[in-house]
Amino acid sequence: MSRVVLAGADEDLILRVKQAADGDVTVLPPGRLPGDPARLFEQLHDGELPDVLVIGPSASPDAVLTLAARLDIQTPGISVVLITEASQQMWQAAMRSGIRDLLPPSANVPEIRDAVDRASQAATGRRRVLRPVTETERYTGRVITIASPKGGVGKTTVSTNLAIGLTAAAPQSTVLVDLDVQFGDCASALGLVPEYTLPDAVRGPASEDTMVLKTFLTQHPSGLYAVCGAESPAAGDTVRGEDVTRLLASLAREFRYVVVDTAPGLSEQTLAALDRATDVVMLSSMDVPGVRGLRKELDVLRELCMIPAGRHVVMNFADPKGGLSVRDVETTIGTGVDVVLPRSSGVPASTNQGVPLLQSGSKRDPMVKELRRLVSRFAATPLMQPGRYRAKHRAAS
């Protein structure tokens, strides 16, 4: 049975499509059809991609053509069937955009069933053929790795809040991966009790099929997905750099944002996460040892050509009485500071309760404001391919 998503249809058409597809139809709420596939699929609450997208006559032709053309490139494993009164011109444009079939609004149930079946078979066939290519090439999401030379500087605080903030900005868009393989505590910071953890996500069936991998994720009530850390340091140690590379690549095909929390320093797993990253958030506490450590880590990463162009320097535990200014920090590390997080008594309480500050904190709290500023650096800027980032960086260095 094929999975069908229906958009732009009235009650009468919804009934016919449901009969034609034997009930497995997700009907999108009425409203403007987004031109961006990711935005369309965000509206699917179970996160499962369809085989066939059926679009009815209420969607605007322009939006339909834009969306279909993008789907054709980004997710060729999904076929589009358009039900509309079409002129000769529209027929041509539809075919050029990769729309699989066109039916008139008066189409009856058997006609719709035939079209959906044909489209579904085409989707399945293309998915089978395309799989080897997509493994390496269809890498669309933004991978944001949070790293720091030292522990206790707020990586988990920042990654959990960033992930919650991105989920609030774009529902179902984000997965958080706890790569602090030995002592990961994202689950605790989010109040989650995971059924599966990192080692399960990189072994066995989950490592072979993205659809299966999604069933190994833990869901937070906010709609955020998470790969939580291993139950024991020994279990975490079994996760290799290449496992991380494969996991992040799979997740980036399914999610707009993959937020990666890491252990202090440059472990094999963290280097793999940096290699896959479109963005790095380099974090340090605002004190002399922390800032010196940050400088050294930035130097090493620069030498290895492993700083993605999306680079965000964040200072935590800023304290006006600390005697260190942002200017001092910038001089030491040789680059700008992007966000400064104040020391805040609300943070330890939120860590202990397992409720990130962006979920519970007051909008006027200075820490909440700065965390939102960090979120908006990602939520407000368009996606770019990691390849392009890397190429630019190499050219510049």
Q: Which residues bind ligand ADP (CB under 6 A)?
A: 148, 151-157, 316-317, 341, 343-344, 347-348, 351, 367
Distance (Å, rounded) from C-alpha 275 to C-alpha 336? 22
Q: Measured from the CB atom, is 64 or 283 closer to ligand ADP?
A: 283
Residue 374: CB minimum distance to ligand ADP, A = 12
Phi, psi of 26 (to 5 degrees): -100, 120
Distance (Å, rounded) from C-alpha 21 to C-alpha 6? 11
- Identify whether the C-beta of residue 174 lies closer than 8 Å to the C-beta of residue 7: no
Residue 333: CB minimum distance to Mg ion, A = 21
Q: Measured from the CB atom, is 122 or 341 closer to ligand ADP?
A: 341
Q: Is 156 in the site for Mg ion (CB under 5 A)?
A: yes
- Look at strands 174-179 and 257-262 and give their pairing: parallel
- Look at strands 310-318 and 339-342 and give their pairing: parallel
Q: Is 316 in the site for Mg ion (CB under 5 A)?
A: no
Restricted to residues 19-58, the positions that interact with Mg ion (CB under 5 A) are none
How is residue 273 written in tokens?
Answer: 């996460």
Residue 180: CB minimum distance to Mg ion, A = 5
Binding partner at 153 among Mg ion, ligand ADP, none, C-beta below 5 to 8 Å by kind: ligand ADP
Binding partner at 246 among Mg ion, ligand ADP, none, C-beta below 5 to 8 Å by kind: none
Distance (Å, rounded) from C-alpha 54 to C-alpha 260? 35
Only one of the segments 69-77, 153-161, 230-238, 334-342 lies at the binding site for Mg ion (rule: CB under 5 A); that segment is: 153-161
Distance (Å, rounded) from C-alpha 129 to C-alpha 77? 9
Binding partner at 344 among ligand ADP, Mg ion, none, C-beta below 5 to 8 Å by kind: ligand ADP
Which residues make Cβ contacts (< 8 Å) with residue 70, sequence separation at least 6? 35, 36, 37
- Number of residues interacting with Mg ion: please give it, by CB under 5 A: 2
Binding partner at 312 among ligand ADP, Mg ion, none, C-beta below 5 to 8 Å by kind: none
Residue 353: CB minimum distance to Mg ion, A = 17
Bridge partner list, 5: 26, 53
The residue among 179, 151, 277, 193 whose CA lies nearest residue 237 is 179
Residue 173: CB minimum distance to Mg ion, A = 23
Q: Rounded to a whole number, what is the largest CA-CA distance in the chain?
A: 76
Q: Which residue is nearest to Mg ion (CB)?
A: 156
Distance (Å, rounded) from C-alpha 301 to C-alpha 274? 9
Residue 355: CB minimum distance to ligand ADP, A = 12
Residue 256: CB minimum distance to ligand ADP, A = 24
Q: Measured from the CB atom, is 81 or 281 closer to ligand ADP?
A: 281
Q: Measured from the CB atom, is 188 or 332 closer to ligand ADP?
A: 188
Q: Measured from the CB atom, is 172 or 316 closer to ligand ADP?
A: 316
The residue among 298, 290, 297, 315 whose CA lies nearest residue 367 is 315
Query: How far is C-alpha 2 from the chain's CA centre?
Result: 25
Binding site for Mg ion (CB under 5 A): 155-156
